[in-house]
Amino acid sequence: MNRINILLSTLLVAIIIGGFTSCNVSENPIFYTLEQERPIVDDSLDNEITVHNVVKGGIWYFAAAPKIFYRNTPDGSTWETANMPQSGVMCEAMDIFGGNLYAGFFSIDGQTFRLYSAPPGSILIWSPVGYGPGSAINDEQIVMLKDVDGTNLLIGTKNGDTYSLHGTGATYLTSLDGIITDALYDSDNTLFWVVAGSEIYQAATLAGLGTPLATAPSLSSGVSFGGIHYSAALVHDYYLSTTDGKIWYSNDAGGTWTSSASVSDVSFTRFIEAGGNLLVGTRSHGYYKLTGGDVTQMERRPDYNISDLRNGGVLNFALLDGKLFACTAGAGLWRSIDSGGEWHRE
């Protein structure tokens, strides 16, 4: 009898355990547990750093995080710490332009800001870079660096409460509505685009970026744009993200705009096109995938069982040599080889 009772008790425990562990995470997230967390390949970077961008120059890959890290392969090797232009500085903006690495630095005490460039390599030989009229060496906070067309490096700055857009030899915009978050050049329609605060600028030349686009979406008070994207391959041509959880799209070069439904409690950031889909980051909810660029087909990603990325803020993306990188705010750097299906933590 004791043996029967023991067998029945064991069977009952197995049934109970089996019932709990058979819950499907995607259908029943309320029952999600750490035991269901997907194992992640984790490389050498700190898991809690903020990463602003990842770029490639020559054979070298660089991450601004806010130290600069480098390696000479897109995956599978240790990131090394690069030498900085001077001690006590950090990097918050970076891009490749004209074959050189450009980076915006700030001092730890927040008093000094400078733009530098260096030829890519394991040893970086930094030189200060001027910008604006006369290419003067300036002391403004660099909030955005972007090579938009292979010819023009756009430099977004913040000086107190003044936001400006510069080139390496000119200033194109000043006294903007807010911080410059993104810019692009659409070669199909020969148009430059810049988003700053709640305003959009569009012109055939950078010198023509004089006044905000009159047909831009009208945003609610306190709402700003997060990113802009153009594609000839997706459902729509132009996409804008906003901090109130909406994606706006246009099919007539910005003449008219249509909004998606608002995603509650989500603040969208920048876009990237990968695997035939459009991905857009958020400040605290991972990222969203728009299947084929369709704003009615938005899905929060990644799955529940990659919780650090799903619940993190994705500030930026990079697509280098077929590898997709997600740059996060405080959750490290992530890499995918299949456009976001599986993720590896750097």
d(CA 15, CA 145) in angstroms, rounded, equals 58
Does position 11 have pLDDT exceeding 60, yes or no? no
pLDDT, tens digit (0-9, with 9 covering 90-100), for 226-283: 999 999 999 999 999 999 999 999 999 999 999 999 999 999 999 999 999 999 999 9
- Output the average pLDDT for the chain: 89
Lowest mean pLDDT among 112-121, 131-140, 183-192, 261-270: 131-140
How is residue 297 written in tokens?
Answer: 């087909």
pLDDT at 42: 56
Between 323 and 32, the more confident residue is 323
Are the C-beta atoms of residues 309 and 334 closer than 8 Å to each other? yes
CB atoms within 10 A of CB 128: 12
Find, among 175, 243, 158, the residue nearest to 210 by Cα: 175
326 three-class SS:
strand
How high is the pLDDT of residue 7?
Answer: 39
The model's pLDDT over 108-117, given as tens digits with 9 standing for 90+, comes to: 999 999 999 9
From 76-80, 112-116, 121-125, 164-168, the region with the lowest mean pLDDT: 76-80
What digits encode the pLDDT tens for the residues 59-103?
999 999 999 999 998 887 899 999 999 999 999 999 999 999 999
Sorted by where each begins, the domain ranges of the chain are 1-36
- C-alpha 169/C-alpha 142 separation (Å) is 16
Closest-CA residue to 270 (of 318, 336, 303): 318
pTM of the model: 0.87
299: tokens are 């899905």
Put the strands of the sheet holding 225-230 in their side by side order: 225-230, 238-242, 247-250, 258-259
Q: What whole-number distance in Å separates Cα of residue 346 and Cα of residue 48?
A: 11
Residues in CB range of 240: below 8 A, 6 or more apart: 195, 200, 217, 225, 227, 228, 247, 248, 249, 257
The three-class DSSP label of residue 309 is helix
Tell me the C-alpha to C-alpha distance, in Å, between residue 31 and each of 21, 300, 304: 9, 18, 11
Ramachandran class of 277: left when φ > 0, alpha when ψ lies in -120 to 50, beta otherwise: beta
What is the DSSP annotation of 152-190?
A: -EEEEEEETTEEEEE-SS-EEE-S-SS-EEEEEEETTTT
